[in-house]
Structure 1
Amino acid sequence: MRRPARSKDLSAAEFKALLRAEGFVFNRPTDGFIDLQRPTSIRFQRRVAIRAANGRIQRRETLEMLRRVRAEEQAEAARLIEAKARTERLIATLAPSALVAPRAGLAGSEAVRRMADDMRQVAAAAGGITEDDLVALGFTRAQVRTLADDARTLAQQLSGASL
């Protein structure tokens, strides 16, 4: 007497135990699964069980699909985290040279030295500097009015040329 071939599929009890152990829940009304590790994941809420021609759930294939989709989501999340970290590192590298430090908080001789240095740099690049240019660099109009003469004198002394 020949015994019928044993199915390679998981039993209902094995399937249920593995789903529970791995954090999946079958949602009967939608015929899909929810990943309890990622309960907001739309992909798992809509993932439908793999069914055979006779309508029965292919338990082993369904579990493998759930594991594969979870691994793909985790890999994508890791890629996004790495991309964000790479962007933040790039910003940290470029920001100091790309952004102008605020000058409104400077006072006294420090403000005069900074303004003189800015005057020299802009004058060398553009041939001259205006009050609006200094305001765009972060000085207040009050600072420009009170410090510009001293800064211009210092800039001329440092450059050895007339601004």
Structure 2
Amino acid sequence: MTLLKLILSLTLFTVVVTEPQRFDNYKVYEIKVENKDHVNILRSLEGNASDEYDFWNSPIVGRNADIMVSPEKTDAFEKMMKNFNMTVGVKVLNLQDLIDRETPKVTPRAGFNWESYQSLDDIYAWLDELLAAYPGILSPHLVGYSYEGREIRAVKLSHKE
């Protein structure tokens, strides 16, 4: 039965992991879009500075536009909005705080389990334990590399003869 669980687990096991991006001190601004000029200003900002600002919705007259701004661009963004006489409010003061509140906490490892998040290091340590425990039927394989250049490892299950 244990071997069957191992086989099923390994069959279903796929790992593609990236380091989560942090948003410490990123702010989300709510801009009141009052006229077509505001729309044009925001659209030009959206098109020219797509790496600096993240528009959470499109600017439309009569609606609010939400824009995430990095801490490095906060002062410049606020000055620009003031220069164009746009009504701006801070919707989220620190985006990472909001993300942290909504992200489940990682519990300390008390053996590998399928009910909680496992870090890539924990997963690979578990794979190494399996490889050491079952050398006759498991063999390591490098599947490829992640977008960030990290190894994507797997194990092959087969009865060696």
> TM-score, normalized by length of structure 1?
0.20
Q: 1 or 2, which has the higher strand percentage?
A: 2
Q: 1 or 2, which has the higher helix percentage?
A: 1
Q: Which has the higher contact order (CA 8 A, sep 6+)?
A: 2
> TM-score, normalized by length of structure 2?
0.21
